[in-house]
Chain A
């Protein structure tokens, strides 16, 4: 009797082990396939010009040509592109957070007869694709004389219907007792927001801030339209222009430039993985 159950147990254990082994093998293949382009990116960026045009391809360059990164840095004003991208993303995220927090707080914590209506107006903006507004927005920005300026790059994407929606849902979870206590203690709305509501909604603020940063860092269409001069370009535009406009074929140098654009995002991901992956898993923030 005990022999049979023991054997059954052993065979079940074996089957599970086999399943796990298979799952690992398949995941290795998938992760390898998805990771391969990144490997190709890094090796190409370290190859000599001769090595990139060799068949069959060289997987590991003979000597690591770090000078490709220097060449890429000098091929275009990447330093300026970095400054532009950092200003546009960081200032943009700051303004975006401020704008959305105020609106979301009003919707969640200041009851008036207009809350529903204004909320619906904000929600409706999520249905309108920004791509449909590029021409009118370009005209508005040029009327304001903001073409080729940080204002033109930043201002149109400050307000986010999605951000307001996320924050409002989170702010609504603030216990009423806490809000009442703050009111009794004589705290005004700004103080309540700062010391009661925001600390309780930290995770959602961090998640939205991170995604907002990624969207702005990676943005291509709007910066392409609104910038004219090389000195105002953000990183993705500056890099793409090397290939699209100047037709550069030194792939090792181009790949080094690509690393410049991707690096900050990868670093952010390494440090904030938890917030980013959970943000996607629970709210479906688009990547």
Chain B
């Protein structure tokens, strides 16, 4: 009798469990998992969206990646962007966090100002930055002129457009990383610093042997998110340069968007989407492997 009731209870529980998770499962199924299979499937076809015809081409769309010079350029641009975020933005944010960590008044105000750009719409803020980068009357070249430098054409120059987008992205993201670093710094016990000071450690030694190792798990988390986010940038490029001039700012997701919605090359776009997923997974696994050497938990 008892056994039967327990069984009935657990059946009821299961039913409620599935009812509760079902909406999320269906939505993920349709908008997250199905697209991956769709990409894998369509990547082996050459399709024409307008006529609706498709021909099986095997791995041709994947092979095309190796001969497509624009694709190579796009990868290089995306990697340069990721590199700049990793090796300029992250150290800069750590530096800012270290300075903010000094017990000073008004810390929360500084923190709020530095953090604000990361909350704003990239598309809207990109409009502001087009104006800041204006070669003739923009803020940046006006300031450069004050110290006697004739500023470049920024967004209209093949060599300066990508650095310009990188500059804006550093401005936009540095405060976000700094807030995370600051939280990490504040969780380091003061007693460690005091002990080190009594032992006569210099500030540089304290940073090298205490602060940095204790922040390594945060640095690791940030390197992973920074790299993943870098491979997903789209808004700034779409608004500021549309990938130009001459593909000098074209990045992965923007090129994928062009293939899918401007050239209507579904097969190639699908292969690119599959590659994007593989790239992100690969880079994350690589970072996980590397982390064993320098991250202390």
B-binding residues in A (CB < 8 A): 19-20, 23-24, 26-27, 30-31, 34-38, 40-41, 44, 52-57, 99-100, 102-103, 105-107, 110-112, 114-115, 118, 121-122, 125, 127-140, 155-159, 161, 164, 189, 214, 217-218, 220-221, 224-225, 235-237, 239-240, 243-244, 251, 254-255, 257-258, 261-262, 265-266, 269, 273, 276-277, 280-282, 284, 286-287
Given contacts A106-B17, A106-B20, A265-B119, contact A27 B110 (CB under 8 A): yes
Pick the contact of A34: B30, B131, B175 (CB < 8 A).
B175
Interface size class of B (residues with CB under 8 A): 35 or more
Given contacts A55-B145, A110-B13, 18 further A-B pairs with CB under 8 A are: A27-B100, A37-B128, A55-B136, A57-B139, A110-B16, A121-B28, A129-B231, A132-B256, A133-B36, A135-B270, A135-B273, A136-B39, A220-B235, A240-B126, A273-B112, A276-B119, A282-B183, A286-B229
For the residues of A in contact with B, the DSSP-based class is helix
CA distance A140 to B34 in the complex (A): 10
Please indicate the chain B residues that have their CB under 8 angstroms from the CB of A282 in the complex: 183
Judge if B221 is at the interface, Cβ distance under 8 Å: yes
Judge if B79 is at the interface, Cβ distance under 8 Å: no
A-B residue pairs in contact (CB < 8 Å), sample of 29: A27-B99, A30-B96, A30-B110, A37-B129, A37-B171, A38-B116, A40-B131, A40-B132, A40-B139, A57-B137, A102-B21, A110-B13, A122-B24, A128-B277, A132-B36, A137-B31, A159-B32, A217-B121, A220-B121, A221-B238, A236-B121, A236-B235, A239-B123, A239-B127, A240-B127, A240-B239, A262-B124, A265-B120, A266-B116
Please indicate the chain B residues that have their CB under 8 angstroms from the CB of A258 in the complex: 124-125, 127-128
B126, closest chain A residue (CB) = A240
How many contacts A-B (CB < 8 Å)? Answer: 274
Scan B256-283; emit 1 where CB is below 8 A from any A CB, else 0.
Answer: 1100110000100110011011001100
Assess the A254–B127 pair: CB atoms within 8 A. Answer: yes
